[in-house]
Homo-oligomer: A and B are copies of this chain.
Amino acid sequence: MATSTSKRDHILNSALSLFAERGFDATTIPMIASDANVGAGTIYRYFENKEVLVNTLFQHYVDLFTKTLEEDYPQEAGIRDQFHHLFQGMVRFTNEHEHALYFIKTHNAAYFLDETSRSRFNHLLMILEGFIDEGKEKEQIRDLPSKALIAIIFGGFLELFKLIRAGEIEETDELLTGAEETCWDAVRHHA
């Protein structure tokens, strides 16, 4: 039944939600173990130490998110459609992995990330910057630093999902459509 793979997965899942909810430093190994229904020592059978665990998790979800955004990317479509694709990807990814994006965002500059984690994250950023830069060239996106626009979209998006997760607002189709419009109006070029 519980194969050793599923045990490793339980650990990763528990770690993800605890890191997202309380942060890396406030989360103890015994907490993760108890949430995952394994002994504390078991975690060390799968991960060398707490930092390796958090880096594994970080890289896994950054890669998965990157794949989600890249998959079926409408290379030939217009900027607005490409934006829709990206936004939909964020929504879908967040619904499939409740805590993952928030975990990534709150830990992307943390002191314990290793070189691989940082470089995977940069790769993700560069994809997004590519999109923004193209939009700016075509004068369909506002002339502000790409990093700034990305920060604004992600900052806004993630705060929004934080509210949804906290139960303060409900995730309806209207809300998501509205949020997409909001973010698009934020970055698009206005006449």
Binds B, one of A50-58, A73-81, A90-98, A160-168: A160-168
A106 and chain B: residue at smallest CB distance: B106
Cβ 8 A contact of A183, one of B158, B178, B179, B186? B186
- Per-residue 0/1 for A152-181: is the Cβ within 8 Å of any B Cβ (1 yes, 0 no)? 111111111011001011000001001101
Whether A159 and B152, one on each chain, are in contact in the complex, defined by CB atoms closer than 8 angstroms, is yes
A170 and chain B: residue at smallest CB distance: B145
Shortest Cβ distance from residue A135 to the other chain B in the assembled complex, whole angstroms: 14
Binds B, one of A9-17, A18-26, A63-71: A18-26
Give the residues in chain B near A187, CB-CB below 8 Å: 182
Cβ 8 A contact of A111, one of B26, B156, B162, B175? B26
